[in-house]
Each structure stands twice: as structure tokens, then as C-alpha cells.
Amino acid sequence: MKKLLLPVCILMHAVIFAQAPAEKYPVDSASVEQPGVPKGEILKFVFDHSAIFPGTTREYWIYIPAQYRPENPACVYVNQDGIQWKAPTVFDNLIYKKEMPVTIGVFVTPGKVLATPGSNAQDRFNRSFEYDGLGDAYARFILNEILPEVEKQKASDGRAIHLSKSGNDRAIGGSSSGAVCAFTAAWEKPDAFSRVFSAIGTYVGLRGADRYPTLIRKYEPKPIRIFLQDGSNDLNIYGGDWWKANETMERALIFSGYEVNHVWGEGGHNGAQGTAIFPQAMRWLWKDWPKPISKGVGNNSFLGNIFIPGEEWELVGEGYKFTEGTAANAAGEVFYQDIPNSKTYKVGLDGKLTVLDLNAKRASGTSFGPDGNRYVVAGETKQILSYDKNQKEKIIADSISGNDLIVTNNGNVYVTAPDGVSKPSKLYLIKPGGEKIVVDEGLKFANGVALSPDQTQLFVTESATHWVWVYRIQADGTLTAKQRFGWLHVPDTDENAWSDGLKADTAGRLYVTSRLGIQILDPLGRVNSIMPVPSGQASNCCFGGIDFNILYVSCGDKVYRRKLKTAGANSFSKSYKSATPRL
């Protein structure tokens, strides 16, 4: 049976490509060696000590243009699957004509885990794992392992290799799965790679790249310029229709305001057209350099109703152990907790940051009540506490291993109480008189809790899954009509979204902190937008400032803020009805 495998594979390839037309493309002069054009040098190396892809070995080549001078760090082009597209010749010609900057090329093959010498075993081929999957592993591999390794080498004449660290000076490309890999690196690290060449890209259901068109439409646009190529006779197999997937990618990129160009043809799954148009792609990707590539403005009206052009994240504070429990009082002043250090911080309306003179008792969840008091979950003492304007402490409830809480405008307090991931969580109602009632249990790590603007719905995040749950609040404060409400996006490297704190704005949208940043749901529970955070994992958020239009988010050891067009719905205020959602 093994003897038949190779002939069968060859036959299948013949069938796949049998209907593809003969491909003949015009030859760009930049793809041909030209007299008088100085040639760059190509060096070959082996890299076999990756910590990100342990046990793998691979070859890589470095192209050093004749015009390169060590005193000026060079731009960088990284290509998967080694040297393709007649790239060294193209770079020689384009750099000589100043149609692209002085650029060092790094051409990397996928990794292999070599079989034991002398055995009858097959090598483990890592290409699909490294190239087809989502997540930042390959980007980190290039940035933290390959590029530093490149800078250890020298040209044959002794020139040191210095690479630019600016994402605006870096491009990355590839074909097929290598194209997905290139796009993923830029998507995950747009500050490191801002220009992408994608030929016959496999944006289909091999390892999750079919999710990209949806994610592109929902994410706040990133500063990426991308050139796409594919042919109408590309593959149409179990993972999807590769030609249509590339068209779908282009439509998603245009919708979201990205700077995108393309060349479509009638070819099959090969590099013929990619090689023919590579010079054209390089000219376009590097046009107007060194002008930075900026974020686009797309057609997502949901984003347009939230984000203010030019307003970006601003650092509020850093150097904490773990921040949580963001909440604003009626004046718009913002409070947050550094849980391990048992400290509470306050951001004044003037932006001044102070630390409160008290032991916060490892407080986490925080909410202000209609009485103006600040309510917290004290993890150290397993209590619900309140503090008045003079920081006088009062015990509201005892013996609750809580996480987060929300106080309604009638004084009811809802508290989430997870007991690890494997045990069912409890949801408590604490009435103004101190009565403590378990109103629900069973969620897998119930975490954040928030109210709808009309205070008739209670939302709870289930961190160990990708769900946000919703309950209807009855007149006596108990809950009914429990159901899954919001389906959250999950990173490729995790099995759950790890949703945490959440808040509603006055339009009824929910802002849910998660592993991917802040996922913004419409009033029907659909994620319409994903807002990445500058660093760390978002753990909680709130709306502060005098108009409650500044979104604060806690992210591990840092806290950020960003001004938005919308305003937060305050649980201590009089409830009101939001506009009827579009069904």
C-alpha cells in the first residue's frame, strides 16, 4: 500500500491541475539580471536551537544588497519557504532604481524535527503547524530568534548586519500556507511588520485561517498594507475554496479600510503568477516609504459610532502586580485595585493619580452604589465591604469568596463567586438589609457582572468558556430567564475567551474584557467589534471622566484609558430604556 501512495498523490495533483489553463505571464524587467546593476550577496545558514519550536532545524538565507552600509540599519523583507520569486534579482534591480529602500532579505524554510539517524522513521514536517495556525508563535519566532540570529552574521567582506527595528521598515511574504503565515505575523505584530505580500494564500479551514475575514471586519483596523495574488483555478478541496477565500479576504480588508491591492488571474496553485508580479508587489508595498502606514477608516458603522479618529490608548499607570476592579463614582473619578499589593488607586478628573491611604484587603470587584459609597469584594477577608467618602469601612456581608460585584440603583448587590474552574460558581444577591441569597449556580468560573441600562437584565461572564450569560431581574431581585447571550471570539492558542469584567454603555452595548482585548457586543449579544489593548490581558473596564466617555481598562501591571464617542451606563443612576436594537 505504501508503494502506491506517491503515484496516487502525483495522479491527484495531475487531476487538480488538469483543467488549469497554460500560464504565461509578461516578464517584469526587474526579474531579469540587468547589466551595470550591482548584485547583492546571498549567505546560507542552519538554525537548529529554537525555543519556540523545540527540536526543529531549518535553513535560512540572508540577502545583503550591494548598497547596504552598516551605519544605516536596513529595511527587512522576510519570506517563508526559502528563496522565491527570483527575489534577490528583483531586489538588486529595485534597490538600484530606488523603487524600494535598501532592504536585507531573510528567507526561512519551515522547521523539521529530524528522525533518529539510522532509523526507518520519517522526519516530522512542521510546515502546517508553523504556517497555517493563528496566534503569535511564528511572529515571535522571527522577531526573537531568527532576526537576532541574522544580526550575529557578517557579510563576506566583514560588514556587520544591522536591521531596522521599526515595523514601518519591515515587510513579510510567502505563498500558500506561507502567505497565511506572513499575514498572521503582521496581524499579531503590526508594530513589527506593516507590509505583506500574499500569493495563493490558504485562508481556508486548515488550521483556522478561515476566521480571518470575520476578524478583519470586527477588529479595529491595524496599520497594515497588503498585496494579494491568486488565480481562479486555485484549489477547491476539503478545507475550502482557496480562490473564493482570497476574494473574501480582499472584500473584508476593503470593508475595514485597509490599504490593499491585488492581482487576480486564472492560474492554479503554483508560484508562476506570483513570480511574475513580485516586482509590482514590492514597488507598491514600499511606495512612499518612509512615510508610515496608517490605520484605515472602514465601513463598519458600529466602529464609527464608538471610536474617535486620532484618539488612541493613553497609559494611566504601570508597575503594579495585577490590576482589576475598575469603577467610576458619580463625579466621574475612577478607582481601580492592585490586588496582590492590597492597594486602591484613584484617578481624579484632572487626571492626577493617587493611592488611597488604606489596606484594600486584596480587593477585586468594585462598584459605586446610589448612596455614593464604594463597594468592593475583599478577597483577603472574604467579605463585601463599603467605603463612604471619608473611606470609613462597613461590612455588608461575610463569608463570600467573591470575585466581582455590581450595585443596582435600588441598593441590591450582585456578587459572582467562582470556586475554581472545575466546581460550579455561585451568584449571590445581597439585599439592602443584609439578606444574602444564592440566586444562581452552575456557571464555569462566573466572573464579571454588569447591568443593562434599564437595569432589567443582568450579564455575567463565564471565563472558562466563550459565553456571556444573561438573566432577567425580577421585582424582588431574584433572577429568571437564564440563557447564553454573547458568543465571544477565542484565541487560537486557548480553549476559552477568559472573559472577565464588563460594562454597558448608554446604547446598550456591552464591553467585555477578554484574552483578545475588549469585545464589544450589540444589544442582541453579537460581537460587532474587537478592540485590542496595548499590552497585557484586559481584566476589567469602566467609563469615567465628567461625561463618562473615557474607557478605562486594567491590563495586568498597567492601566490605560481612551476617549470614545459613547458614554457608560451607570448602575447607581436612574435606569432608562435604550433604543430598540436592530434585529
| One domain for residues 195 and 82 | yes
Would 580 be classed as within a structural domain? no
- DSSP 8-state code for residue 202: -
pLDDT at 521: 97
Q: Are 366 and 409 in contact (CB under 8 A)?
A: no
pLDDT at 208: 95
What's the one-letter identity of residue 501? G
Place of cell 506572513: 182
| One domain for residues 253 and 328 | no
Counting Cα atoms < 13 Å in the Cβ hemisphere of 430 gives 25
Would 295 be classed as within a structural domain? no
pLDDT at 119: 86
d(CA 371, CA 408): 11
Q: Are 513 and 553 in contact (CB under 8 A)?
A: yes
pLDDT at 5: 35
CATH code assigned at 362: 2.120.10.30
Number of domains in the chain: 2
CA distances from 540 to 309, 377, 468, 565 (A): 24, 14, 14, 20
CB neighbour burial string for 26-62, b if at least 16 within 10 angstroms, e if fewer:
eebebbeeeeebeebeeeeeebeebebbeebbbebbb
Q: Are 235 and 206 in contact (CB under 8 A)?
A: no
| One domain for residues 146 and 263 | yes
pLDDT at 422: 86
Smallest CA-to-CA distance from 534 within 190, 117, 100, 267 is with 190
DSSP 54-99: TT-BEEEEEEE-TT--TTSPBEEEEEETSS-TTHHHHHHHHHHTTS
CB neighbour burial string for 467-490, b if at least 16 within 10 angstroms, e if fewer:
bbbbbebeeebebeebeebbbbbb
Q: What are phi and psi of 95, to 5 degrees?
A: -65, -40
The CB density around residue 362, as the number of other CB atoms within 10 Å, is 18
Domain end marker among 223, 255, 285: 285
Instruction: Please tell me the total number of residues recorded for the chain in this structure.
Output: 583
Residues of the chain short of pLDDT 50, as ranges, are 1-18
| One domain for residues 460 and 360 | yes
Helices (H), 386-445: none
pLDDT at 6: 34
| One domain for residues 372 and 271 | no
| 225-231 and 259-265 strand pairing | parallel
Would 12 be classed as within a structural domain? no
Q: Are 349 and 338 in contact (CB under 8 A)?
A: no
Per the structure block, which three cell numbers stand in for 182?
Answer: 506572513
d(CA 384, CA 363): 9
| One domain for residues 422 and 470 | yes
| One domain for residues 318 and 280 | no
Would 76 be classed as within a structural domain? yes
Would 433 be classed as within a structural domain? yes
pLDDT at 14: 36
Query: Can you count the helices (H) and strands (E) in the chain?
Result: 10, 36
Per the structure block, which three cell numbers stand in for 331?
Answer: 463625579
d(CA 219, CA 99): 32
| One domain for residues 432 and 373 | yes
| One domain for residues 407 and 314 | yes
Domain end marker among 229, 255, 285: 285
pLDDT at 4: 37
**Total-model pTM:** 0.92
CATH code assigned at 165: 3.40.50.1820
| One domain for residues 348 and 495 | yes
Would 281 be classed as within a structural domain? yes
Q: Are 552 and 334 in contact (CB under 8 A)?
A: yes
Would 464 be classed as within a structural domain? yes
Domain that holds residue 214: 40-115+123-285
d(CA 242, CA 281): 20
| One domain for residues 275 and 312 | no
| One domain for residues 332 and 192 | no
Helices (H), 347-434: none
Would 77 be classed as within a structural domain? yes
